[in-house]
Amino acid sequence: MGTDPVSEAQDIDYEVVIVGAGFAGLYALHEMRRLGFSAHVYEAGDGVGGTWYWNRYPGARCDVESMDYSYSFSEELQQDWTWSERYAAQPEILAYLNFVADRFDLRRDIQLETRVVAATFDDASNTWLVTTDGGESVRTRFCVMAAGCLSAARMPDFPGLSSFEGEWYRTSMWPRHPVEFRGKRVGIVGTGSSGVQAIPVVAQTADHLYVFQRTANYSVPARNRPVTAQEAVDWKLDYRDHRRLARTTPSAMLRFPNPRSATQVSPEERDAEFEARWEGGGPGFIAAFADLLDNREANELAADFVRRKISRIVEDPEVAKELMPTTHPLGTKRLCADTNYYQTYNRDNVTLVNVQKNPIVEILPKGLRTTETDYELDMIVYAIGFDAMTGALLRIDVTGAGGTKLADHWAAGARTYMGLGIAGFPNMLLVASVGSPAVLANMPTAIEQHIDWISDLLTSMRDKGRVRVEATSEAEEEWVQRVNREAAKTLYPTANSWYVGANIEGKPRVFLPFVGGFARYAKLCDNVAARDYAGFMFA
Ligand code: NAP
């Protein structure tokens, strides 16, 4: 890098340290290298892939269509890779990310099985000291935090957890060895996106499956199927245009919301639209009408449609009733996409247990106890989610300018400027974090947008001889207020979801993602850059 000021500090090991080698870390490394920055990636897993490395539970599959859920930065890559299914399963996505790592020769700068445990900013040199669990310390000018938003897996905290004599797993940290359900009484705790995918698969071979459901969730059929050769050819013919168009939408994928209101059409028209979306499959159901996520009455119509579906699919009316979500509006917790989820409850070997009514009290050596019954189990699968959006960063001991701890800065609720920077934490850039729309959009596209923006920022700093960038407190405060204002226009804050941190005891209730849509967000980012990074200060 010669003598440019960005790399001038004598003791810098890397200009950029990237935390995480998932979708975000891999692309960040590729970009940093392309721009001539020395970069190094730390990854806790013993392979690349991030989310798709850890979440290898049975049934794990993406709920964004595979032609969308992939990188767009290389036309050759998107032409050469062929997806086999409409919704790719975890092994295929992991294979894709490994293919990317090989194709772009990324592995030589990725240090596996190494967790970053601390990052400390030094005001005098405007650099970060990054420390790993192996005791290594390196100095870098910039930290790009690509550690994931659904990567800090929750640990079950039931009393007696370790007394269990059978096998137990978390969907979010699934082992690499084969897990056999045959001949076993299996319990699954949790009915979010992960549980809803695992339950039908485990039910196929388990001797008996007990599903411990606390909150009934809305799920729509994914309608997964193979991608035909012709479809792939057609799509690839216009891949660039597809991507361009996708970036103009709120979701960053080719999903087009019906612009009409659910309350302003006839019941027949409404049901026809819901039916078409249900049959079409996938979370595009939420786009059936424009106001499903911000009008309670409209939402209730959609919710009622799904409840009617449940009552038709599930044969036992009592079980059907238990499965019907009533406590939150549809889509305010992530809408699940399933393959035979509700049908699974018609199997003789599946029992639904309502742990809202009778909570889990403790884990026993041979099973699980609720306030009502003891269940004998050979295996327990916890599908209980993540310390979403903040957990991955807060598990690192981050100390910013003047010795401020990130944990303190975020004590009353996580806050960022544009989801990209944090006041008091110079030269730390975030990917798909708090205040970003990424978790409500097509993640790979959101990641590419964030990293392209960060790349432009670092390049401009190099060009201008700047060595320190930091979000101002005012800009951060304004963004926090904007994130809240946007959320308040919707039904999202009414649910006890991970979007507000409600799934983690003691976590401050703050609305975490930006719900204003990907396209609007990307435009705002462009405006910030065009105004010489307004809201950031430099040295
Ligand atoms: P989640 O949505 O947070 O669901 C966790 C489940 O565990 C909920 O049903 C929760 O019940 C239950 N639970 C937690 N603690 C419990 C307790 N003490 N007792 C009983 N039940 C308990 O987690 P997730 O399913 O892993 O999904 C997280 C996110 O990852 C999703 O929202 C999605 O964004 C992403 N994801 C995507 C896909 C996909 O693309 N298809 C697949 C998996 C995950 P309550 O609702 O009552 O808290």
Percent of the chain with pLDDT over 90: 97
Q: What is the CATH number of the domain that holds 473?
A: 3.50.50.60
Q: What is the mean pLDDT of residues 478-495?
A: 98
CA distance 358 to 457: 53
Quick: pLDDT tens for 256-313.
Answer: 789 999 999 999 999 999 999 999 999 999 999 999 999 999 999 999 999 999 999 9
pLDDT at 255: 80
Q: What is the distance in A from the centroid of ligand 1 to the CA of 189?
A: 9
Q: What is the distance in A from the centroid of ligand 1 to the CA of 416?
A: 25
pLDDT band at 77 (very low <50, low <70, confident <90, very high): very high
Same domain (yes/no): 29, 169: no
Q: What is the distance in A from the centroid of ligand 1 to the CA of 333?
A: 9
Cβ(385) – ligand 1 distance below 6 Å? yes
Cβ(195) – ligand 1 distance below 6 Å? yes
pLDDT band at 336 (very low <50, low <70, confident <90, very high): very high
Record the pTM.
Answer: 0.97
Same domain (yes/no): 436, 505: yes
Same domain (yes/no): 455, 428: yes
Q: Does residue 244 lie within any of the structural domains? A: no
Cβ(150) – ligand 1 distance below 6 Å? yes
Same domain (yes/no): 197, 323: no
CA distance 202 to 196: 11
pLDDT band at 4 (very low <50, low <70, confident <90, very high): very low
Nearest C-alpha neighbor of 535 from the set 410, 418, 404: 418
Cβ(189) – ligand 1 distance below 6 Å? yes
Q: Which of 369, 385, 401 is the last residue of a domain?
A: 385
pLDDT band at 6 (very low <50, low <70, confident <90, very high): very low
Q: Does residue 228 lie within any of the structural domains? A: no
Q: Does residue 243 lie within any of the structural domains? A: no
The closest-lying atom of ligand 1 relative to the alpha carbon of residue 384 is 7
Same domain (yes/no): 164, 265: no
User: Would you list the DSSP string of 124-171?
Assistant: TTTEEEEEETTS-EEEEEEEEE---SS-SBPPP--TTGGG--SEEEEG
pLDDT band at 502 (very low <50, low <70, confident <90, very high): very high
Cβ(214) – ligand 1 distance below 6 Å? yes
Cβ(381) – ligand 1 distance below 6 Å? no
pLDDT at 1: 38
Same domain (yes/no): 421, 307: no
Cβ(190) – ligand 1 distance below 6 Å? yes
Q: What is the mean pLDDT of residues 8-22?
A: 88
Percent of the chain with pLDDT over 70: 98
Q: Which of 329, 361, 377 is the last residue of a domain?
A: 329
CA distance 285 to 80: 31
Q: What is the distance in A from the centroid of ligand 1 to the CA of 215?
A: 10
Backbone φ and ψ for 182, nearest 5 degrees, come out as: -55, 135
| Structural contact between residues 484 and 511, judged by C-beta atoms closer than 8 angstroms | yes
Quick: pLDDT tens for 36-52.
Answer: 999 999 999 999 999 99
Q: Does residue 283 lie within any of the structural domains? A: yes
**Residue 255 structure tokens:** 């999903």
Q: What is the mean pLDDT of residues 369-392?
A: 98
pLDDT at 445 over 90: yes
Same domain (yes/no): 141, 261: no
pLDDT at 254: 84
CA distance 429 to 128: 12
Nearest C-alpha neighbor of 139 from the set 154, 158, 119: 119
CA distance 204 to 175: 20
Q: What is the distance in A from the centroid of ligand 1 to the CA of 459?
A: 39
Q: Does residue 230 lie within any of the structural domains? A: no
Quick: pLDDT tens for 144-194.
Answer: 999 999 999 999 999 999 999 999 999 999 999 999 999 999 999 999 999
pLDDT at 11: 85
Q: Which of 287, 314, 329 is the last residue of a domain?
A: 329
E strands, 402-481, are: 428-430, 469-471
CA distance 383 to 209: 14
Q: What is the distance in A from the centroid of ligand 1 to the CA of 438?
A: 18
Q: What is the distance in A from the centroid of ligand 1 to the CA of 192?
A: 3
Cβ(154) – ligand 1 distance below 6 Å? no
Pocket probe for ligand 1: among 150, 174, 193, the residue whose CB has the most ligand atoms within 8 Å is: 193
Average pLDDT over the chain reads 96
Q: What is the distance in A from the centroid of ligand 1 to the CA of 107?
A: 32
Same domain (yes/no): 109, 59: yes
Same domain (yes/no): 259, 134: no
**Residue 138 structure tokens:** 């390196």
pLDDT band at 9 (very low <50, low <70, confident <90, very high): low
Q: Which amino acid is at 388?
A: A
Burial of residue 22 (number of CB atoms within 10 Å: 0-12, 13-18, 19+): buried
Residue nearest atom 26 of ligand 1, based on CA coordinates: 385
Same domain (yes/no): 399, 364: no
Quick: pLDDT tens for 249-263.
Answer: 999 998 878 999 999
Quick: pLDDT tens for 321-331.
Answer: 999 999 999 99
Same domain (yes/no): 169, 126: no
Q: Does residue 235 lie within any of the structural domains? A: no
Q: What is the distance in A from the centroid of ligand 1 to the CA of 474?
A: 35
Q: What is the mean pLDDT of residues 110-131?
A: 98
Same domain (yes/no): 196, 56: no
Cβ(188) – ligand 1 distance below 6 Å? no
Q: Does residue 188 lie within any of the structural domains? A: yes
Cβ(339) – ligand 1 distance below 6 Å? no
Q: What is the mean pLDDT of residues 359-386?
A: 98
Residue nearest atom 24 of ligand 1, based on CA coordinates: 385
pLDDT at 356: 97
pLDDT band at 10 (very low <50, low <70, confident <90, very high): low
If one counts the domains in the chain, the total is: 3
Q: Does residue 229 lie within any of the structural domains? A: no
Domain carrying residue 210 = 155-217+333-385
Cβ(193) – ligand 1 distance below 6 Å? yes
